């Protein structure tokens, strides 16, 4: 992979969002989170989701992760969702916004294990008819790769792992002081449960005491 290819793939992930607390050593690609949140928003009657971004709710209170983070990852801390949406004026807009906000909070907690404490919404357009529901596009550059070492083999066999990915370069990054593993989750598995299973499997396979961090680049169901 060329440097330009690596940069394009990295930018395609968006921000790397903290999963769990400082001790979890886990991150989720913003684009993976966006696909799930956009799907949840599209289920709200009369709503067409637009721009959606996630950021730290209060950067000044963010924690220091226990494991070295991936490049440009956000530190552990509560998140804020900023989202634009278009809506059919079949109900009062405050009621529609309230339903959408509830849907985004629920998807964040129940499907992504993200700690979201704020959802800021902005209406950008009034629609004459209900929008057509479309399936979210898969994140670009996230493809399955085969394991090439003991750590990768252990991670790929952990419960809830659909496959390894190599968006940041290699599926398993072995540093002297830590290990980073990059995966996509399988349908029906919570991200934090997958993270803990991967960490346990890789720790047992390497048996050298290095802490393990996990980056989820795609969430399947």
Fold match between 30-61+71-127 and 138-219? yes
Residue 107, pLDDT > 50, answer yes
- Band (pLDDT 50/70/90 cuts) for residue 221 is low
Q: Which of 134, 18, 3, 169 is nearest to 80 (CA)?
A: 18
Given this model, what pLDDT does residue 8 score? 41
What's the pLDDT at 13?
77
CATH architecture of 138-219: 2-Layer Sandwich (3.30)
**Could you tell me the residue ranges of all domains in the chain?**
30-61+71-127, 138-219
Average pLDDT over residues 132-158: 81
Instruction: Answer whether residue 201 shows pLDDT above 90.
Output: yes
Gyration radius from the chain CA atoms: 18
Q: pTM to 2 decimals?
A: 0.89
Q: Which of 100-109, 143-152, 196-205 has the lowest mean pLDDT?
A: 143-152
Highest CATH level, class, for 30-61+71-127: alpha beta
Q: Which residues contact 163 (CB under 8 A, 6 or more apart)?
A: 144, 145, 156, 183, 184
Residue 8 near residue 141, CB atoms below 8 Å: yes
Query: Using 50, 70 and 90 to split pLDDT, how confident is the model at 186?
Result: very high
Across the chain, mean pLDDT equals: 90
pLDDT digits (tens, 9 = 90+) for 44-103: 999 999 999 999 999 999 999 999 999 889 999 999 999 999 998 888 899 999 999 999
- Report the alpha-carbon distance of residue 143 to residue 5 in Å, rounded: 14
pLDDT at position 4 over 80: no
pLDDT at 169 over 60: yes
pLDDT score of 134:
64
pLDDT of residue 128: 82
How deeply is 126 buried, as exposed, middle or buried, from its count of CB atoms within 10 A (0-12, 13-18, 19+)? exposed
Which of 212, 83, 121, 90 shows the shortest CA–CA distance to 158?
212
Mean pLDDT of 132-145: 67
pLDDT band with cut points at 50, 70 and 90 for residue 135: low
β-pair type (179-185, 116-127) = unpaired
Q: Is it the case that residue 116 has pLDDT exceeding 80?
A: yes
């Amino acid at each position: 992979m060329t440097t330009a290819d690596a940069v394009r793939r990295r930018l395609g992930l968006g921000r790397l969002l903290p999963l769990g607390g400082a001790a979890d050593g886990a991150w989720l690609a913003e684009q993976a989170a966006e696909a799930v949140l956009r799907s949840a928003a599209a289920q709200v009657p009369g709503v067409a989701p637009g721009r959606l971004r996630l950021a730290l709710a209060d950067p000044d209170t963010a924690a220091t992760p226990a494991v070295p983070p991936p490049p440009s990852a956000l530190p552990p801390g509560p998140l804020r969702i900023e989202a634009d949406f278009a809506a059919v004026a079949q109900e009062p807009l405050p009621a529609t916004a309230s339903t959408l906000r509830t849907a985004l909070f629920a998807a964040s907690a129940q499907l992504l294990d993200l700690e979201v404490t704020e959802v800021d919404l902005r209406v950008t357009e009034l629609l004459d008819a209900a929008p057509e529901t479309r399936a979210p596009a898969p994140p670009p550059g996230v493809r399955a790769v085969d394991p090439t070492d003991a750590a990768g083999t252990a991670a790929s066999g952990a419960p809830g792992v659909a496959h390894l990915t190599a968006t940041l370069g290699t599926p398993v990054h072995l540093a002297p002081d830590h290990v980073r593993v990059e995966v996509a989750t399988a349908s029906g598995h919570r991200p934090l449960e997958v993270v803990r299973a991967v960490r346990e499997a890789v720790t047992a396979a390497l048996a050298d005491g290095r802490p393990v961090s996990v980056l989820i680049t795609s969430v399947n169901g």
